[in-house]
Structure 1
Amino acid sequence: MTDSAQPQALARRSAAALDAAVAAGRELGLTVTDAEVLHDLFSVVVHLAPAPVVARVPVVLPAYATPDVLARRQQAELDVTRWLAGRGVPVIAPSPLVPARPVRRDGFSMTFWQYAEEDRGKEPDYAANAESVPALHAALRDCPVPLSFLSAAEPEFVEDSLGRLGDRPDLIAPADLDRARREWRELEPLVRSRAAFEQRFPGIEVQPVHGDAPAANIFHGVAGDLYSDFELVTLGPVEWDLAGLGPELAAAYDRGAERQGLRPLDADVLRFTDAIGMLRVIACLDLVPQLPVLHDYLQPALERWRAG
């Protein structure tokens, strides 16, 4: 996909992902006659109706996410959510109708999930969502699935993108890119090394965390709210899951943490995770050629960063 990506090209990509999901579902023994796209942004999400199964097909990916890397990440998500569901945690769980593993088809790698009907009339309450996240963290503490330290920060993606964006002054001004590169050089060692992180932040425990703002990834189902989208599940400080969400949601998290008997957020660690989260936002400019609408989504965060 290039800068000249037109709606027709994006529609062809979505149609190809839909076709691949339907074909893969049928090969797995599902009856699929009325497939419907539920969501189409970074992934094409397909209800394989009438089967109560949803396929999620990533279509916008950084260069480092080779098929093998993506499959390992998807398997970790399947394993963690299956473990949580088995302990009664409200999550969108892998479908029991197919093997809990990623499936490759027609150049895509996809996963299959239980279908849950969305309550489209319910407005998100992000403060309430953030207040519920400590309960998720408490459940995740004992999760035995092997995970890498701060893989959700995607250091390969940040490194590669900050390099490539030097040729894209239309996407980021040179002065902004220079600042981002300076910040990354300072913070990168703490992202890549658990030992360096623990030396910088003594006493801060690392545990399995959601990886991608769980307060913004709660699915409002007709039968109740469900945690969803554990695609970046990782080992890290709990602050990672609040990165970039602001003081109001951080305060809501602390209220929930007090009820769970967990520690409040550490201000220094939160500044670190906020800074890394912002660098990931800047790195996402490199994905604009694959998903042009992303440019406008990222601008408010970039403007706050410039003003900070």
Structure 2
Amino acid sequence: MDAPDIERATAVVKSLVGTADDAVLLSNSNKIIVRLGDVLARVAFDGEHGFPLELELARQLAGGPVVPPLSDVVHERDGFAITLWKYYETSTQQAIAPAEYADALARLHAAMRAADVPAPHVRDRVREAEAKLMDRALTPEVSDADRALLLTTLRERSAAIAGPTQLLHGEPHPGNLLATPEGPLFIDLETMCHGPVEFDLAHAPAPVAAHYPDADLAVLHDSRLLMLAMVITWRWEVGDQLPNGMTLAAEWTADLRTATTH
């Protein structure tokens, strides 16, 4: 969101929560995350979110390694959709050990096997990435060589990730796993999808895989390359609001080229 929308959205959240606490902007991309005291608000433009399914999944995963919502209601005000969650004070110095990370992810996957919510397959998300690369108006800054690399990686690696599938978090990277007094808890369930558990594991730091039970290392390798190609594509898209997104895309593309030629 741009600055005027952030200011307007923050005012809406403060009115909704009814607090005099200062609002602290924690994240800004396609949606913003704002903290007000013990409340964390996730805010998106109306019609540009998957909040209802995210809340339903959080409800079904209650008691699992996920941050709980404070309400099962999507609040719609002044063109924004807002969900409210419990805020946890975390320390950037408090790293989650690989074994603890793997245990949290395995417990999340076990809980998700019993959940019943509609979600796309990983390959559906891959096709979305392919469509953005095929439309040069959506990804105009991508060179021909990089575009070919990304498309080839998306197609070949998505075809390679076979085997058992289940409901996944979709993006359980370190930024979506909080170290809390209650243990590691995942956030941002909106990215849920179906696929092999190795696709989720590909988002975790490399040492985590050694502690995850029965991971297929070949599928994990393909998943890591697939995930990297997808993330690069999102960064090249017109309108992406991740700070330094294009710089990161260029760096990661170089990493992908190295990984696929060795």
TM-score, normalized by length of structure 2? 0.81
In the other structure, the counterpart of 1:148 is 120
Deviates more, 1:119-128 or 1:237-246: 119-128
| Distance in 2, Cα, partners of 1:154 & 1:122 | 33
Against the structure 1 CA distance between its residues 298 and 110, is the aligned structure 2 distance closer, same or farther, given a 3 Å change threshold? farther
Given that 1:212 and 1:241 are in contact with CA atoms closer than 8 Å, whether structure 2 keeps it comes out as: yes
Against the structure 1 CA distance between its residues 288 and 248, is the aligned structure 2 distance closer, same or farther, given a 3 Å change threshold? farther
In the other structure, the counterpart of 2:152 is 182
Given that 1:152 and 1:211 are in contact with CA atoms closer than 8 Å, whether structure 2 keeps it comes out as: no
In the other structure, the counterpart of 1:54 is 40
Aligned residue pairs, count:
257
| Distance in 2, Cα, partners of 1:48 & 1:223 | 21
| Distance in 2, Cα, partners of 1:152 & 1:245 | 21
| Distance in 2, Cα, partners of 1:110 & 1:275 | 34
Aligned amino acid, residue 70 of structure 2: S
**Aligned runs of 1:223-242 on 2, under 5 Å?**
223-242=182-201
Given that 1:158 and 1:279 are in contact with CA atoms closer than 8 Å, whether structure 2 keeps it comes out as: no
Question: Alpha-carbon deviation of 1:283?
Answer: 1.2
TM-score, normalized by length of structure 1? 0.71
In the other structure, the counterpart of 2:252 is 301
| Distance in 2, Cα, partners of 1:221 & 1:244 | 20
Structure 1: gaps spanning 5 or more residues: 2-9, 60-66, 191-196, 258-263
SS of residue paired to 2:167: strand
Question: Alpha-carbon deviation of 1:131?
Answer: 4.2
Pairing partner for 1:89 from 64, 81, 89: 64
Structure 2: gaps spanning 5 or more residues: none
| Distance in 2, Cα, partners of 1:249 & 1:165 | 38
In the other structure, the counterpart of 1:271 is 221
Against the structure 1 CA distance between its residues 167 and 53, is the aligned structure 2 distance closer, same or farther, given a 3 Å change threshold? closer
Question: Alpha-carbon deviation of 1:240?
Answer: 1.4
In the other structure, the counterpart of 2:167 is 208
Identity %: 28
Pairing partner for 1:173 from 126, 138, 143: 143
Task: Please list the CA deviations of residues 226-270 of structure 1 after superposition, one character each: whole Å capped at 9, or x if unmatched.
Answer: 2212120122211110225465332232xxx2xxxxxx1223432
